[in-house]
Amino acid sequence: MKMKKRILQLTFAVLLLLCNNGFAQKITIGVKGGFSIPNLTGGSSDNPLNTGYSSRFAADGGAYGEYHVTKKFSVTVGLEYSSQGGLKNKFQAFPTPIELSSQFPGTVPQYLYANFRSEAKINYILLPVLARYTWKISKNSPIKVYAAVGPFAGYLLNAHQVTSGSSTISMLNPGNANNPTYTQLSPQPIDFNANTSIKSDLYKFNAGINGFVGISYNLTKQYSFFVEGGGNYGFLAIQKGSANGKNKTGAGVATFGFAYTMQNKYYRQGHR
């Protein structure tokens, strides 16, 4: 919670500084919302728990302040809710439960296998600081095209592993690495419906790169509507230990939103 408060305080402090007329020549404030398609990457092939993820579908959104250094170049500071994680909906591995250990008189296998749905829902607050460059379609056109890129710092809000479905359980037969075969253990399907918090297994801090391209349309001199597409990628492995492997976050993001631009007298007189 302390880190979350520090991120919020830093963001608001920067936005207030940028909005101060004694400092800024032109400021834009915007809000946006949309969806993300996150996935978990970097899984190790020798750990079946962190491989085989596909993308999931989730929400994304936030607010930002933009300081216009020149007519084309600006710097933005944002605060965003970012959905991360991944999805498995297939025959997959899971750690052998303690209650099933008695079925193995010898060595208890590290993993068992079943066909069920497993979704990692991992949500962050991101603080991106981006360099942005804008082009006008023509001198009098209300349409602008822009691109932005820069680093982000992230704070973990919550994380859950949500499983569903029912399936019989199988064990991987030893000695068949190139052509694996499985032995069915349970004659009746086992229920996999569960929602487990995994926040304590993950690091609270993340960092990476964020970027997007967009098109904006000026409704008036001060108000505009925009559509953006881009993504983010985390540079740090998110798991604390090695039991569940090491993954990195990443997501493709599409958003739309509205922006309000403030200009002081000095800027309007054309000194920029």
Rounded to a whole number of angstroms, the distance between the first and last alpha carbons of the chain is: 41
CATH 3.40.50.1980 for domain 2-268: no
> Looking at residue 21, what is its pLDDT?
46
pLDDT digits (tens, 9 = 90+) for 53-66: 999 999 999 999 99
- Name the β-bridge partners of 155: 125, 205
* Entry pTM: 0.83
With a CB cutoff of 8 Å and minimum separation 6, the contacts of 110 are 95, 96
> Looking at residue 191, what is its pLDDT?
93
pLDDT digits (tens, 9 = 90+) for 107-139: 899 999 999 999 999 999 999 999 999 998 888
pLDDT digits (tens, 9 = 90+) for 198-213: 999 999 999 999 999 9
- Give the side-chain half-sphere CA count within 13 A for 108: 10
- Name the β-bridge partners of 84: 122
Residue linked to tokens 């008189």: 105
Sign of CA pseudo-dihedral 203, 209, 210, 212: negative
Which segments within the chain are labelled E, that is strand? 26-41, 58-68, 73-95, 111-136, 143-164, 166-167, 170-172, 182-184, 190-191, 194-197, 205-218, 223-234, 248-263
Residue 188 — very low, low, confident or very high, per pLDDT cuts 50/70/90? confident
Residue linked to tokens 């822009």: 146
Residue 271 — very low, low, confident or very high, per pLDDT cuts 50/70/90? very low
SS3 54: strand
In this predicted structure, the answer to whether residue 174 has a pLDDT above a threshold of 90 is no
- Residue 76 and residue 211: Cα distance in Å, rounded? 11
Domain ranges in the chain are 2-268
In this predicted structure, the answer to whether residue 243 has a pLDDT above a threshold of 90 is no
- Token pair, residue 206, equals 């993340």
In this predicted structure, the answer to whether residue 153 has a pLDDT above a threshold of 90 is yes
SS3 4: helix
- 8 A C-beta contact, residue 234 and residue 205: no
